[in-house]
Amino acid sequence: MITAANFKVNHTRESTASYLEALNLFLDAYSTHCDVRVYPAASSFLKADLYPHVKLGAQNFYPAVNGAYTGEIGSQQLNEFGIKNVLIGHSERRVTLRETQDFIAKKYAFAKENGWEIIYCIGEPKDVRRNGFEAVAQYLLDEFEDIDTDYDKLSIAYEPIWAIGTGVSAEIKDIAEVLDMLKSRFKSTPLLYGGSVNTENLRQIISLKSCGGALIGNAALDAANFCKLIQIAQNVQKEE
Ligand code: PGA
């Protein structure tokens, strides 16, 4: 079970350090089978080995070791912190930052070459959702163009765009339908859900048979709340 906190553009270096200390302490005392990941802002990166129970990740990177890419960071910068975990394809990067599928595929290939763990995000906008499941499935599958889904360090996060940061999660039956469709195609790849996950709805989402975790924004910004979310995920017993 993966529980991942996406900080986006939140927290300072100082508050990220206190957050990670609190989280690592909690995980030290509370033995969990959850794979716990935190994606802070790049300016708040800390050495990954300071927090052995947490996997530190990058929300973004440029697919190069280093070079003339103003404003970006490459593998040289991630390696300095021992970061081996990345998000790729988040809708905020696809839509707001205008990343194309072609560029996303380049980032993916670079992350794979480096052996990094990847959470690859996909998700449909509201107008596609209005057209029903078949339209959603087609839209999501198109987001795998040039992506090697056989990569063994891949997890996929289904994040409907209209559910992100809105406080309105997708309906449980719709999440189930999409995750089951993805499961039938991508078999052993862990599947996460993201989009307004909170302490009220996580249990039901995680209990879905095809759900292997959650990617959480707002509700994970507070360390104590993220610890509660990890406990909820941990306590869900799945029938195998
Ligand atoms: P949210 O963000 O939990 O605030 O909706 C999720 C995400 O964007 O990954």
> Does ligand 1 lie within 6 Å of residue 194's CB atom?
yes
> What pLDDT is stored for residue 142 in this prediction?
98
Convert the pLDDT of each residue in 25-65 to its tens digit: 999 998 778 999 999 999 999 999 999 999 999 999 999 99
- pLDDT over 60 at 232, yes or no: yes
* Burial degree of 43 (CB within 10 A; 0-12, 13-18, 19+): exposed
For ligand 1, whether the C-beta of 104 sits within 6 Å is: no
Domains delineated in the chain: 2-239 (3.20.20.70)
The dihedral of CA 61, 198, 19, 11: what is its sign? positive
- Of the candidates 230, 224, 228, which has an alpha carbon nearest to the alpha carbon of residue 18? 224
Record the pTM. 0.97
Output the 3-class SS for 9-21: CCCCHHHHHHHHH
Q: Active-site positions?
A: 90, 159
Angle at 19 between CA 25 and CA 229, to 5 degrees: 75
| Nearest CA residue ID for atom 6, ligand 1 | 217
Of 3, 6, 156, the one to substitute when testing ligand 1's pocket (max ligand atoms within 8 A of C-beta) is: 6
Instruction: Give tens-digit pLDDT for 183-202.
Output: 999 999 999 999 999 999 99
215 DSSP 8-state letter: E
